[in-house]
Structure 1
Amino acid sequence: MKTRTIERTRLVPHTVDGHTEMVLDREKIEVPAPPRDWDHIVRTGVTVGAILLVTVSLVWTTTSIGGLLAMSVVAVVAYGAGVAFDASWIMCMGVEWLLRYDPARAAAAQKAGRFALAVSMGAVFAHGYLNGQLVVGVVGALVSALAKGGWTIAMRVHARPLDPRTQQWVAKRRADVDGQLAMIPVRRELQRGQAVIEAEQRSLAALADSGSVDPDESGQSADDPAADPEPPAAGPMTIKDAVRTALDSGIREPDRVLAYVRQVADANAKSDTVARYIRLAG
C-alpha cells in the first residue's frame, strides 16, 4: 500500500522549572495515500484542451478575417474587428455556462452562439476563397467548429443535470432572489424621487413663508395707505405703549406685535409679557 508523509501539529504540555505550558509539537507521520483520481485528471485535461482549442481558433480566425478586412481598411482596424467574430460565440458559450441551470434562458445564448459561429466560419471560408485557396478556407473554417465542439463537450463534462422537480425548485428560488435583487434599484429610485418631492415641498413652504412677511416698501409710493402696514417708530416708549400702538394700527398677530415691541420699545421683551398686555388691551 502506498503511503505519504504528512506533518501533524498538536498542543502538548511542557514543564520547565515546575511551570507547565502548552506548546506546539510537530511530528511527521506516514498515512495511506489516496488512490489517484483519474476522473478529475481527465476532466481537467478536457477543460485545458478545450481552452487551448478556443485560443487557437481565436488566433486563427482573427488572422484570417483580419486579412480579409485589411483589403479595404487599415490593418489595425481590420484585425481588431476580426477578434469580434470568434469572441461573439465564445461569449455566448460563457453565458450558456452561467445559465446552465436555467434552460429557458440558456436557449437564447445557444442560438446566438450557433449563428455567430456560422458567420465566423463563413468569413474564414471567404478569405480562403478570395485568395484562391479553397481548401485552406474550408479547413480554416472547421477550426472554429472544432473549438466550439470541444468547449461544448467540456461544458457537458462539468454540467450537473437536474431532474424536472429540482429544476422547478431552483427556478422558483432564483425568481424569489432575483425579485429581491430587482427591488434594490427600484427602492433607491423611489427614495431619490421622494427626496426630490420633499425638497420641492420645503422650497414651496419657504416661499410661502417669505410671502407672508411684509415686503420691503422702499419702492412703494408714500401716498399708498397700504405701503406701511406697521406703525412707524415714534421714539422710545414702554412695552405697554408699544403694544397699544400696534393694536391701534391693526396688528393682531402676537408674533408681529412682539416684533414691533422689540423694535420700538425693548429688544429683549418677552413674549409672555407682550401676550399679557394684548389680553389686557382686548
Structure 2
Amino acid sequence: MKTRTTTQLVPHTVDGKTRMIPINVDAPAPPRDWDHLVLNGVTGIAAVVLTASVVWSTASIGDLLGRAVIGPAAYGAAIVFDLAWIACMAVEWLARYDEERAALPRKAGNVALVVAMLAIGVHGKVSGFWEVGIVGALVSGLAKGLWTVVLRHQTPLLDERTRAWIRGELADAGAGLALIPVRRQLQRAQAQMDAERSALGPGADHGSADPDRTDESTDDPDAEIFELHPGAVTTKDAVRIAWDAAIRDEDAVIRYVAKATGRAPSPDTVRRYLRALRVGA
C-alpha cells in the first residue's frame, strides 16, 4: 500500500501546559483520481485553444482594421471581438445555477461570436484568401464550442424545485445587500435633518417622531429616552456616551453628537474619537 507523509497536530504537554504541535506521520495515499486528471487535461487543452483563437482573431481583425487606422488602435479594437464573447461565457458560468439568468449572457455571447467570425471572414475575402477567412473564423467557433462543453460538464444537474429554492436564497441575499445603501442614505438624510434642526434651535422641532401613547402622561418623561441638553456636553463626551450605549455606526454617532451638543460636529473629529475608543477597547 502506498503511503504519503502528512503533517498532523497533536497535543504536547510541558510543565503542565499543553500545546498543539505539528508532527510528520505516514498515512495511506488515496488512489489516483483519473477523472479529475482527465478533466484538468481537457481544461488545459481548452485554454490553449482559446489562447490560439484570441491570437488568430486579433491578428486577422487587427490587419483588417489596420487598413483604415493606425496599428495600435486597430489591434486594440480587434481584441474586443473575442473578449466580448469570452466575458459573456464567464458570466454564463457564474449564473450556472439559474437558467433564466444564464440565458441572456449565453445569447449575447453567441451574437458576439458570430460578429467576430464574420469579421475574420471579411478579412479573408479582402485579402484575397476567402478560404483562409472561413477556416480562421471556425477557429473561434471551435474554441467557444469546446469551452461550452467543458463548462456544461462541470455544471451540476439540479431539478426545478432545487433551482427555485436557490433563486429564493439568492433573492433574500440580494435584498439584504440592496438594503445596505438604502440604510446609508436614510442615515445621511436623518443626520442632515438633525443638523438642520440643531442649527435652527429648539423651536424648529414642530413634532415628535415617537409621540407619547394615549395611556402615558404627557408630563412624564419616557423612561427609555435620554434627555439631551444641547451645549451641555462636548463632542468628545457625546462620542463617549454613544460608545457606552453600544452605538458603533459612525453616521448614528454623528447624529447623536449633533443632538447632544446642539451643533453639527466634524465627521473627521468624530471618527478620530471613535478610533481612539476602538483602540482602547
TM-score by length of 2: 0.65
Q: Tell me, yes or no, if the aligned pair for 1:99 and 1:106 is still in contact at 8 Å.
A: yes
- Give the structure 2 partner of residue 187 of structure 1: 183
Report deviation, 1:12.
Answer: 6.6
Distance 1:13 1:206 in 2: 67
Q: 111-120 or 186-195, which moves further after superposition?
A: 186-195
Pairs within 5 Å for 1:203-222:
203-205=199-201
Distance of 1:21 and 1:201 partners within structure 2? 61
Instruction: Determine if the alignment matches structure 1 residue 92 to structure 2 residue 88.
Output: yes
* 1:29-68 equivalence runs, <5 A: 29=26, 31-68=27-64
2:134 to 116, 129, 138: 138
- Within a 5 Å distance, the mapping from 1:121-270 to structure 2 comes to 121-205=117-201
Q: How many residues are aligned here? A: 202
Give the Cα separation in 1 of the matches to 2:138 and 2:16: 74
Deviation string 1:24-70 (CA, Å, 9 cap, x unpaired) is 795654x4432211110011112111111111111111111111000
Letter in 2 for 1:202: S
Match of 1:190, SS state, is helix
User: What residue in structure 2 maps to residue 114 of structure 1?
Assistant: 110
Structure exhibiting the larger radius of gyration computed from Cα positions: 1
Look up the match of 1:213.
none
Q: Distance in 2 between matches of 1:106 and 1:128?
A: 33
Q: CA contact under 8 A between 1:43 and 1:157: conserved in structure 2?
A: no
SS of the aligned residue for 2:128 comes to coil
* 1:106 partner letter: A
Distance in 2, matches of 1:133 and 1:8, equals 62
CA distance in 1 between counterparts of 2:201 and 2:22 reads: 76
Q: Give 5+ residue unaligned stretches, structure 2.
A: 205-281
**Is the CA contact 1:96–1:110 (under 8 Å) kept in the aligned structure 2?**
yes
Structure 1 residue 13 displacement after superposition? 7.7
- Answering whether residue 3 of structure 2 is matched by residue 4 of structure 1, we say yes
- Is the 1:125–1:137 contact (alpha carbons within 8 Å) kept by the matching residues of 2? yes
Deviations 1:213-244 (A, max 9, x none): xxxxxxxxxxxxxxxxxxxxxxxxxxxxxxxx
TM score, norm. by length of structure 1: 0.65
1:80 aligned counterpart, secondary structure? helix
Distance 1:8-1:115 versus aligned 2 partners, 3 A rule: closer
In percent, how many aligned pairs have the same letter? 47
> 1:62 touches 1:82 (CA, 8 Å); kept in 2?
yes
Shift of 1:199: 2.6
Instruction: Give the 3-state SS of the residue equivalent to 1:6 in structure 2.
Output: strand
Structure 1 distance, partners of 2:201, 2:94, is 53
Query: Cα 1:6–1:188, aligned 2, differ >3 Å: closer, same or farther?
Result: same
* CA shift digits 1:178-236 (9 cap, x unpaired): 1001110111112222222333333333998xxxxxxxxxxxxxxxxxxxxxxxxxxxx
Name stretches of at least 5 consecutive residues in structure 1 with no aligned partner: 209-282
1:279 matched residue in structure 2: none
Structure 2 SS opposite 1:197:
helix
Residue type at the aligned position of 1:126: V
- Per the TM alignment, residue 3 of structure 1 is displaced from its structure 2 partner at its CA by 1.1
